[in-house]
Amino acid sequence: MLCIASTRASANEGMWMPEQIPAQAAELQAMGFTGDAGAFADLTGHPLGAIVSLGGCSASFVSADGLIATNHHCVQGSLQYNSKPGNNLMESGFLAKTRAEELWNGPGSRVYVTVSVRDVTDDVIGALDPQLSDRARFDAVDKRVKELTAACEKRGLRCTVSSFFEGRKWFEIGQMEIQDVRLVYAPAAGIGNFGGEVDNWQWPRHTGDFSFYRAYVSPAGKSAVYSKDNVPYKPKHWLRVSPQGASPGELVFVAGYPGRTARLAPYAEVKRTVEWSLPRTVRRNTDQIDLLTKLSQQDPETGIRVSTRIRGLNNSLTKAKGVVESMHKRGLLAERELREKSLLAWIDAEPGRKTAYGDVLPALNSLVAERVLTAERDALVAEICGGMGSVMGSAQMLYRLSRERPKSDAERDPAFQERDWSRLREGQDRLQRSLDVKADDALLRYSLAEVAKLPAGQRIDVLDQEIGLSATMSAAATGAAIDAFIGKLLAGTQLYQKDVRLARLDMSTAELLATDDSAIKLTAALFPLMEATREKSKQHSGSLYRLGPRYAEALLAHSGGAVAPDANGTLRVTYGRVMGVPASEGIPNPSQTTLQGIVDKASGTSPFNAPEAELAAIKALRAGKQTPYFDPKLNDVPVDFLSTVDTTGGNSGSATLNGKGELVGFLFDGTYDTVASDYLFDPVRTRSIHVDTRYMLWTMAEVDGATNLIEEIAGGPAAADAPPAAR
C-alpha cells in the first residue's frame, strides 16, 4: 500500500491510484457511498474496465459494440482530419446514422484499455550499486525499463514502465492498444465549444463538451490497423448512461488518465516554473496565436490545418495565466516555500533524519540551478529542431531515425525502438492534414528572431553561421538575414510532400544527406547540439533517480497521512461532491447551469453561436414539449455542473460516475482561479466542471436526431457489469 496512514490530508484531494481507493472506504462511507470500494481496485472489472485512454484525453465504453464517449474537444483531431474547405466538421459537427457512415480518425489514432498493473520497483531500482555515477545510473535504469517493457509486450500489449513518488515506486502498465478508431458523433461547435475562449476555464459554463468514437478490431477480435473488414470491438465492460445525471450534494467519482501535476516537486522547481516557464508560455502563446489567427483569416485551408494548434495554444495560455496569477496574488508560491521550510525543519530536528535526508534538497536545488543557466537557449534549440507539426519536426524525426536504426533495439532511444516504427510512419502520414508552409514560415521567423536576441555566451553558433547572425547586428540586418534564410530553407525542402516523407523513413543517414534537402541539412548541422542537450538530460535523470526516492521518502514520512502520487498519465480515481464554490461578496455561485443560460448568452456569432436547431428545441420545451431529461427542481434541462473532485489536464473526457457506477457526466475543465492546484491543492475553492448526461441525451434527441445512438447506449451493461452498489 502506498499510504503511510488511513487518514486524508484534505476532503477531496488526491488523484488516487486505483489500488489506493480501498483504503478510502471509511471516508467514502461517511460521504454516503454504500458500494464496494474494493471494486475500484479491479482494473478488469466494473467500472474501471470500461475506462480508456485516447493518448491525451480520457474516455469510456458506453455500449456492447465499442461505442466510446469522451469530450468534444478531444475529437478535434478527427474533425480536423476529415474537414476540408466547404465542409468544415469542426464547425458543423458530424453524425453517422449508420456504422457504414462512421469516419476513420486517420493514422495514429488509438484507444488504450489498461488490463494490468504490476509493481516492478525492485526490478527497476533494486540492487543498484550505490557507487554508480549518475550517468551510469541512468543507463542501468534505462536498460531495466526496456527489458521489462519488451517482456510485457510479448503478451500482445502496449506496455510502459512508469515511476511514481519521484522514482520511489515503479509500475509496469499493460494496455490493449486499439488502432482502428472512428468518429461517430460530434455536435456543432456552437454546442460542443459554446463560449469558446471567452468561457474557457470559467464558471458558469453552458458547453456541451461531449462526442462519440467507436473502436474497431479484426474479425478475430484482435487489434488491427484500419480496414473495411474490421468489426466493432466488444468490450468486457461498459458504463450505463444515467438519464438522471447528477444532483447537488451527490457523491461522484471521476476515473481517467490525468496528465501531470507537481505537488510533490521541490519548491525551487515550482518557483522556476512560475517565474520563468509559465510567463514564457504566456508571452509566446499570445504571439503565436496572433500569427496563426491572421494566417487563418487570409486562407481558409490554412485555417483548417492550424485550427487544433490554435485551440491548444489558447487552452495552455489561459491556464498558464491562471496559475501565475494564483501563485502570486493568492500567495500560493509563498505557501509552497513555507511547506518546504517545514519539511527542512523536520529533517533537521532529528540526527537520523538529517543523516538520511539532509543533503537531498540542496542537491535537487543545484540541479534546478544548472538548468536555469541555459534554459532559454535550450528551449529555442528544441523549438527550431523539432517544432510539432512543422517541416523541421519531420526532418528531425527522419534524421534521428536514420541514426538509431542501425543500433540494436536495446541501445536505441526509447522513442525510436522498433515497436514505434509503425507509429512514426503513421505520424508522417497524418501530418499531411496539418503541415502548412505558411505556418512554418511565420513560426520559424518568430523563433529565429528570439534566437537573434540571445546574449553573448548563450549564442547558438550553428544558427549564427547558417543564417549569418551576430549579437551586434542591427534589427534591420537581422531581419533581412532571417528572411533570406527561411526563404531558402523552405524552398529547398521536399518534406511537404507526404510520399517523400514516407519514402525517406527507410533511408540511411548517408542517403538522407544525399537528397540535398535543406531541412535535412539544417537538422544534421544542429544534431551535435541536440545530442549534447540529450546527454545533459540523461545525466540530470540519473541524478533524479538517485535523489528522488529519498526526497519522496522524506515527504511521505513528514506528511503523516495518505498521499496520492503526482499525476503521470496513468489511470487514477478521484471523488467528491457536486457543489458550487463559496459565495463571493454575496453573489451565489450555483453548482448547475441550465438551457436558459444558453438562451441568455446566445448572440448568433462565435463563440456564442448556439445552432438554430437548438434554440428551436429550447423554444419547443418552453411551449410544453415533454422530455425525460427535464429537472423539476431546476425547472429546466441541466447543462453543466461543478464538483469538488481533484483533476487536471488529461482528465478531459473522464467518466463522472455516481455511487452506483453509472455515467452521469464527463469532466471537461477546471476553474481559472484554482488551476494552480496542479502545484498546491486548494481544498476550499478547487472545482472541476462536467457536462451532465441529461444535456447530452437531450441534445442527441431534440437537436441532432441521434436516436440511433440513444437506442444503443440505452441497452445498458450486462449482468456481469452490475455496478458496485448492486453487488
Of the pLDDT bands very low, low, confident and very high (cuts 50, 70, 90), residue 589 is: confident
Does residue 211 have an active-site annotation?
A: no
697 vs 520: CA distance, rounded Å:
51
Catalytic residue among 180, 199, 209, 669: 209
CA 506 centroid distance within chain: 31
Query: For residue 612, is it left (φ>0), alpha (ψ between -120 and 50) or beta?
Result: alpha
3-class secondary-structure state, position 40 = helix
Q: Residue 202 pLDDT > 90, yes or no?
A: yes
> In this predicted structure, what is the pLDDT of residue 266?
97
Residue 239 above 80 pLDDT? yes
Catalytic residue among 72, 73, 206, 690: 73
d(CA 652, CA 122): 33
User: Is residue 237 exposed (0-12), middle (13-18) or buried (19+ Cβ within 10 Å)?
Assistant: buried
Tell me, what's the pLDDT at 128?
Answer: 95
pLDDT band of 479, cuts 50, 70, 90: very high
**Burial class of residue 158 (count of CB atoms within 10 Å of its CB; 0-12, 13-18, 19+):** buried
Q: CB neighbours (10 Å) of residue 334?
A: 11
| Residues 634, 661 contacting (CB under 8 angstroms) | no
286: burial class by Cβ within 10 Å (0-12, 13-18, 19+)? middle
* 46 labelled catalytic: no
User: Using one digit for the tens of pLDDT, what is the confidence trace for 119-171?
Assistant: 999 999 999 999 999 999 999 999 999 999 999 999 999 999 999 999 999 99
b/e string for 422-434 if b means 16 or more Cβ within 10 A? Answer: eebbbbbebbbbb
Catalytic residue check, 652: yes
Instruction: Give tens-digit pLDDT for 273-282.
Output: 999 999 999 9
Other CB atoms within a 10 A radius of the CB of residue 338 amount to 12
How many angstroms separate the CA atoms of 690 and 247, rounded? Answer: 12
Alpha helices for 299-436 (secondary structure H) = 300-329, 332-348, 351-357, 360-373, 375-386, 391-404, 421-430
- For residue 81, the model assigns a pLDDT of 96
CB-CB contact of 390 with 292 (8 Å): no
For residue 204, is the peptide bond before it cis, meaning its omega torsion is within 30 degrees of 0?
yes
CB atoms within 10 A of CB 125: 21
- One DSSP character per residue, 293-315 reads HHHHHH-HHHHHHHHHHHHHHHH
Residue ranges with strand state E in 582-653: 592-594, 638-643
Q: Which of 109, 296, 390, 652 is catalytic?
A: 652
Burial zone of 685 (CB within 10 Å; 0-12 exposed, 13-18 middle, 19+ buried): middle
- Tens digit of pLDDT for each residue in 51-79? 999 999 999 999 999 999 999 999 999 99
Cα–Cα distance measured from residue 599 to residue 590, given in angstroms and rounded to the nearest whole number: 18
Mean pLDDT of 417-434: 96
Mean pLDDT of 326-351: 95
The packing angle between helices 360-373 and 375-386, to 10°, is 60
Q: Which residues pair with 256 in a beta bridge?
A: 572
Distance separating alpha carbons of residues 252 and 232, to the nearest angstrom: 30
Reported as a pLDDT band with limits 50, 70 and 90, residue 388 is low
pLDDT for residue 385:
84
Q: 494-534, pLDDT tens digit by residue?
A: 999 999 999 999 999 999 999 999 999 999 999 999 999 99
| 240 and 663 Cβ atoms separated by less than 8 Å | yes
Q: How far is CA 414 from the centre of its chain?
A: 20
- Residue 726 is predicted with a pLDDT of 32
Say if residues 436 and 302 touch (Cβ distance below 8 Å): yes
Whether the Cβ atoms of residue 390 and residue 440 lie closer than 8 Å to each other: yes
Which amino acid, 634?
A: L
How many angstroms from the chain centroid is the CA of residue 698? 28
Do residues 391 and 435 make contact, with C-beta atoms less than 8 angstroms apart? yes
pLDDT value of position 674: 87
Cell numbers standing for residue 228: 473495411
pLDDT score for 586: 56
Across the chain, which distance is largest between two alpha carbons, in Å? 78
Whether the predicted pLDDT of 7 surpasses 70: no
Taking each helix axis from N to C end, the angle separating 375-386 and 437-452, rounded to the nearest 10 degrees, works out to 160
Q: What is the DSSP letter of 591?
A: S
Is the predicted pLDDT of residue 588 greater than 70, yes or no?
Answer: no
C-alpha cell at 426: 503513421
- CA dist., res. 184 & res. 94, Å (int): 7
Residues 6+ apart with CB under 8 A from 59: 51, 52, 53, 68, 69, 70, 74, 111, 213, 653, 655
Residue 727 has pLDDT above 90, yes or no: no
Range 626-638 average pLDDT: 97
CA–CA distance, 647 with 649 (Å, rounded to integer): 7
Q: What is the pLDDT of residue 389?
A: 80
- Ranges of beta strands (E only) in 103-164 are 103-104, 111-119, 158-164
Position 557 pLDDT exceeds 60: yes
**Residues 6 or more apart whose Cβ sits within 8 Å of residue 301:** 84, 85
